[in-house]
Amino acid sequence: MPSLPLVSHVSPDSIIAWRADGAVTLRQFLTEVSQLVALFPAGSHLLNMCSDRYRFSVGLAAAIVAGKVSLLPSTPTPEVVRQIKVFAPDVFCLTDSVLCTMDLPQLRYPVMGVSQADAFAIPQIDSKQRIAVVFTSGSAGSPQPHPKTWGALVSCVQAEALRLGLLHNTPCTIIGTVPPQHMYGFESTVLMAWHSGSALSHAQPFYPADICQALAAVPMPRMLVSSPVHLRAWLDAGLALPEITRVLCATAPLSAQLAQDIEARCHAPLMEIYGSTETGQIATRRPTQTAEWQLLPGIKLIVEGDCVRACGGHIETLIAMNDMIEPVTDEHFLLHGRIADLVNIAGKRHSLASLNHLLNTIPGVVDGVFYMPDETGDDHITRLAACVVAPGMDAPHLLAALRQHIDPVFLPRPLLFVDALPRNRTGKLPRAVLQALFQTRSARKSA
């Protein structure tokens, strides 16, 4: 069986990460990985909830070395955790927070000992080993598992690192505002650091000043991996921005204006990544230079009528894409938004059909529908709205019930209570009718 190393770094003294107390060498990292492996319970699945990116990476590496599978749900709501327990009854939770209330057997991230590892050896991992299962929200409401093998993930981030020019330069430090548990953060802040000789910053900066602090805490060259929401807030805060080598953005298309502003203020190229949970990342573009996306080497798009499927490269089976894609050449394409049933809010994706199904299963809801207003395209998040018939129920109770099932970004705002939904004679709810309903309401509110 072909195998691939855990990381592409070779020297025991190469820097694999930066923590608050300084650089972590590969030797130290592998020592801590062994210490964590020794503490693992018997279960073969884990939910790695570490919010510190370095601890997450140690947890991931330890799981890979121990042959355990890391489960990555998009949001571990109580209902999703219940379903994950059905999927993998032996699952345990690795956490670095004393506040973790997850209803699973918990392994607290340990205080690592200072003992040196025995012999220095970089673990070799079988390419076919299933190291992670990523979940998307299925249309029937239950999370859909997407298994990921080590070989496919490594091949994907190697292609990404090559495209971004990380393999021919001085190793850089990667600072991410996106969580490592999300597919984009998983690939671009952890796996790509491991397989481009780069180092990852432990930080999970949130406020604009945190991003500046996390950047300034590590040496150049450095790359910021972020999303339109964080980048817009970061620029708008009007802070002095630390020097930076490149910026990576994904989860939603950037507006042309924000892309230009980022490059002008940072004096660094901004690259966007396109991909999905199912496929991993498949294309990149530099939006200040072209609207066209360039596929990663080996990836092909197959068009059959309205459906576009991706294959080749690291993609192991033919996968239907959820966006409207217009191929321009074999290697380039344009993106024209998502297919109507899907909503994508801040990089979290859900099917409208599944949200509607969920809404209508809540006790007390007689009829209900979600509505996604047209997006404004100014890098602000557009929120879902919903309209329900639920006599005797109020908004706080309904929202609390929804919160058990879905990520808070999908909670409707506004949530409108009505006597009946404006269904037409065939029982359908045309978009235009819903649009008019919410517009009337907001006009009344601001009047």
Residue 308 CB, shortest distance to other proteins, in Å, is 29
Residues in 95-124 at the binding interface with other proteins, rule: CB under 8 A: 96-97, 99
Residues in 363-392 at the binding interface with other proteins, rule: CB under 8 A: 380-381
Decide if 281 contacts 296 (C-beta within 8 A). Answer: yes
Residues in 411-440 at the binding interface with other proteins, rule: CB under 8 A: 411, 413-415
Say whether residue 401 binds other proteins (CB under 8 A). Answer: no
Q: What burial class does residue 340 get, using C-beta atoms within 10 Å of its C-beta: 0-12 exposed, 13-18 middle, 19+ buried? A: exposed
What is d(CA 97, CA 16) in angstroms, rounded to the nearest whole number? 23
Here the tokens at position 23 are 């650089």
User: How many residues lie near other proteins (CB under 8 A)?
Assistant: 32
Please, which residue, 320 or 409, has the CB nearer to other proteins? 409
What is d(CA 362, CA 359) in angstroms, rounded to the nearest whole number? 6
Residue 175 CB, shortest distance to other proteins, in Å, is 14
Residues in 46-85 at the binding interface with other proteins, rule: CB under 8 A: 51-52
111 phi, psi to nearest 5 deg: -80, 120
**Chosen residue from 220, 237, 302, 436 binding other proteins by CB under 8 A:** 237
Please, which residue, 213 or 360, has the CB nearer to other proteins? 213
Please, which residue, 13 or 394, has the CB nearer to other proteins? 394
What is d(CA 282, CA 335) in angstroms, rounded to the nearest whole number? 13
Options 61-69, 123-131, 235-243, 258-266: segment touching other proteins (CB under 8 A)? 235-243
Residue 224 CB, shortest distance to other proteins, in Å, is 16
What is d(CA 280, CA 57) in angstroms, rounded to the nearest whole number? 18
Residue type, 91: V
Residue 355 CB, shortest distance to other proteins, in Å, is 16
Residue 97 CB, shortest distance to other proteins, in Å, is 6
**Range 267-275 contact pairs with CB under 8 angstroms and sequence separation of 24 or more:** 267/243, 268/244, 270/246, 271/164, 271/246, 271/247, 272/248, 273/160, 273/184, 273/188, 273/248, 273/249, 274/250, 274/335, 275/183, 275/184, 275/187, 275/250
**Chosen residue from 81, 216, 229, 324 binding other proteins by CB under 8 A:** 229
Options 236-244, 252-260, 296-304, 328-336: segment touching other proteins (CB under 8 A)? 236-244
SS3 state at 336: strand
The continuous run of DSSP H or E covering 368 comes out as: strand 367-371
Binding site for other proteins (CB under 8 A): 51-52, 96-97, 99, 205-210, 213, 229-230, 233, 236-237, 239, 346, 380-381, 395-396, 399-400, 403, 408-409, 411, 413-415
